[in-house]
Copies of this chain bind each other. A is one copy, B any other.
Amino acid sequence: MLWKHILEVRKQAPLVHNITNYVVMNNSANALLAIGASPIMAHAHSEVRDMVSICQSLVINIGTLDEYKTTSMKLAIETAIELEKPWILDPVGAGATPYRDQILAELLPYRPAVIRGNASEIMALAKTNTSPTKGVDSSNQSDEALEAARQLQQSFGSVVCISGETDIIVGAERTIRISNGHPLMTRVTGLGCSATAVIGAFIGVTEDKVEATAAATALFSIAGELAQQISTGPGSLQVNILDVLYNMTEQQFIDTLKIQN
- What's the nearest-Cβ distance from chain B to residue A45, in Å? 7
Residues of B within 8 A of A239 (CB): 235-236, 238-239
- Which of A25-33, A121-129, A137-145, A170-178 interfaces with chain B? A25-33
- What's the nearest-Cβ distance from chain B to residue A67, in Å? 7
Cβ of A229 under 8 Å from chain B: no
Out of B41, B97, B242, name the residue touching A51 (CB < 8 Å).
B97
Q: Which of A8-61 contact B (CB under 8 A)?
A: 21-27, 29-30, 33-34, 39-47, 50-51, 54
Cβ of A189 under 8 Å from chain B: yes
The answer to whether B33 and A234 touch across the interface, beta carbons within 8 angstroms, is yes
Cβ of A133 under 8 Å from chain B: no
The answer to whether B67 and A66 touch across the interface, beta carbons within 8 angstroms, is no
- Which of A80-88, A203-211, A213-221, A243-251 interfaces with chain B? A243-251
Cβ of A183 under 8 Å from chain B: no
- What's the nearest-Cβ distance from chain B to residue A5, in Å? 20
Q: Which of A158-210 contact B (CB under 8 A)?
A: 186-190
| Number of A interface residues in the complex (CB < 8 A) | 56
Cα A45 to Cα B188 in complex, Å, equals 27
The answer to whether A67 and B46 touch across the interface, beta carbons within 8 angstroms, is yes
- What's the nearest-Cβ distance from chain B to residue A235, in Å? 3
Per-position contact with B for A80-108: 1 when CB-CB < 8 Å, else 0?
Answer: 00000000000001001111100000000
Cα A240 to Cα B235 in complex, Å, equals 6
Q: Which residue of B lies closest to A21 (CB)?
A: B41
Most B CB contacts (10 A, CB to CB) among A93, A186, A241 go to: A93
Cβ of A232 under 8 Å from chain B: yes
The answer to whether A188 and B43 touch across the interface, beta carbons within 8 angstroms, is no
Query: When A66-B44, A242-B234 are in contact, do A33 and B96 touch as well, CB less than 8 Å?
Result: no
Cα A34 to Cα B233 in complex, Å, equals 8
Query: When A96-B51, A244-B233 are in contact, do A238 and B43 touch as well, CB less than 8 Å?
Result: no
Query: When A42-B65, A235-B241, A243-B233 are in contact, do A26 and B23 touch as well, CB less than 8 Å?
Result: yes
Most B CB contacts (10 A, CB to CB) among A21, A67, A189, A238 go to: A189
Cα A244 to Cα B96 in complex, Å, equals 31
Cβ of A131 under 8 Å from chain B: no
Sample of 7 more A-B contacts, CB < 8 Å, known A24-B26, A45-B67: A23-B26, A33-B189, A41-B64, A42-B63, A42-B65, A46-B67, A66-B68
